[in-house]
Copies of this chain bind each other. A is one copy, B any other.
Amino acid sequence: MTDAYVVGVDMIKFGRFPEKSVPQLGSEAALMALDDCGLKIQDIDALYCGNLGQSSGMVGQRILQQIGQTGIPVVNCANACATGATAFREAWTSVKAGLYDLVLAVGVEQMGKGLLGSAGGATGIPKEGLLGSGTMPTVFAEAGMEHARKYGTTFEQFAKVSVKNHHHSTMNPKAMYQIETPLETVMNAEMISYPNTKLMCSVNVDGSAAAVIASERKARELGLMGRAVKVRASVLTSDPWQERDLVMPDVNTCTRKAAAAAYEMAGLGPDDVDLIELHDCFATAEILHYENLGICGDGEAGRMVDDGEVALGGRIPVNVSGGLLSKGHPLGATGIANIYEVSTHLRGEAGQRQVENARIGLTHVIGLGSACGIHILEKAAA
């Protein structure tokens, strides 16, 4: 089985682009990722496209209409907030299967305004919802409150996640926002669903990200190993069945299962990881995922934030990009944007926000409904 490498990767600056079409947005990232490794669309063997809002609308093929209809296979994937990660993973799988040597994965989304919970209508998700009642803000508020009840996690600790991620994004020119948000500002913002205020909810933005994945042979042949990033693990899980009296799915179990499988596939543990881009769709979620991903013990997540261990310069920086809270969360693009961020650090090209000596990074997304995607990436041996 060949190893597979990210050889080109990029994302557009996230923002609001109502004047553009979804394929236009996707095309921009696709061309940027190709440019990043000096390739043309004519070099690519297959395209995997992740998009939720127009998932039945052949977005991948419409991207090719913009950048070059070469007749290659196109697969369109949708998997809630794990859509981009799923497209990346399917692309990776096709390289692992020996079907292709150079595959392009594109994730793209044009979001409506408003909170995530309201995105359902716009994205064609059936009116009855994915899993019965429950909107995104209440699901993640409840999950945070369960953590607070169990471990004494405070409103302030949850809020500090947002302060950290907004601070990180001041160093990321591709994030939606580059604004410091002091603790009082976060805590005094409009309350959406306790304990998450408006500044503790991810930002609905339009965006796209893309990656070129190459077989080891091809990456060497093209002289692309110098900036290549090895995919050490790619894992996808769904919710296991369980008795629960909450309306929400168990976002914790799903992530823990995926993390265990990813560490096993990579032959690594959480201590080996130098940076993480995880699914901070709400500030409460980030707290839960420190524990779910095993970077601290159960109940220790609040302290991790207090101690600055997850901030840039800390023991294991989390969401140095600004995360979903400030970089923004265009659903179908997020999974590949995470891979862009981690790859940029592994390449030592992250500028002011560079995590020093980053060698191994982890990306995590979770889609309610349910899908958890984890990738572990490693700087390629020169």
Could you list which residues of chain A lie within 8 angstroms of chain B, going by C-beta atoms? 1, 46, 52-58, 61-62, 64-65, 68-80, 86, 89-90, 93-94, 96-99, 123-126, 130-131, 235-241, 253-254, 257, 367, 369-371
Contact = CB atoms under 8 A, between A and B. Distances in A.
**Those 10 A-B pairs whose CB atoms lie nearest each other, nearest first:** A71-B240, A69-B241, A58-B369, A73-B236, A97-B97, A96-B97, A55-B55, A55-B56, A124-B124, A56-B124
A103 to B, nearest CB: 11
Contact of A79 (B75, B96, B369): B75
How many identical chains are in the complex?
Answer: 2
A240 B236 CA distance: 32
A121 to B, nearest CB: 11
A311 to B, nearest CB: 33
Given A78-B78, A125-B57, A69 B240 contact: yes
8 contacts: A54-B124, A57-B126, A58-B125, A71-B240, A71-B253, A72-B238, A94-B97, A96-B98
A257 to B, nearest CB: 6
A135 to B, nearest CB: 16
Contact of A371 (B61, B77, B123): B61
A79 B79 contact: no
Contacts of A53: 56
Contact of A68 (B96, B123, B241): B241
Contacts of A77: 75-78
Q: Which of A96, A99, A237, A254 has the most CB of B within 10 A?
A: A99
B76 A78 contact: yes
A49 to B, nearest CB: 10
A99 B99 CA distance: 14
A237 B94 contact: no
A382 to B, nearest CB: 27
A236 to B, nearest CB: 4
A263 to B, nearest CB: 16
Contact of A239 (B46, B61, B76, B254): B61
Contacts of A75: 77, 79, 86, 89-90, 236
A55 B57 CA distance: 10
A1 B90 contact: no
Nearest to A46: B236
Nearest to A4: B97
Contact of A126 (B54, B65, B89, B369): B54
Contact of A123 (B56, B74, B367): B56
Contact of A125 (B1, B52, B56): B56
A61 B97 contact: no
Contacts of A78: 55-56, 58, 76-78
B241 A58 contact: no
Contact of A369 (B61, B238, B254, B369): B61
A73 B124 contact: no
B130 A73 contact: no
Given A78-B55, A86-B75, A61 B93 contact: no
A61 B238 contact: yes
Nearest to A76: B78
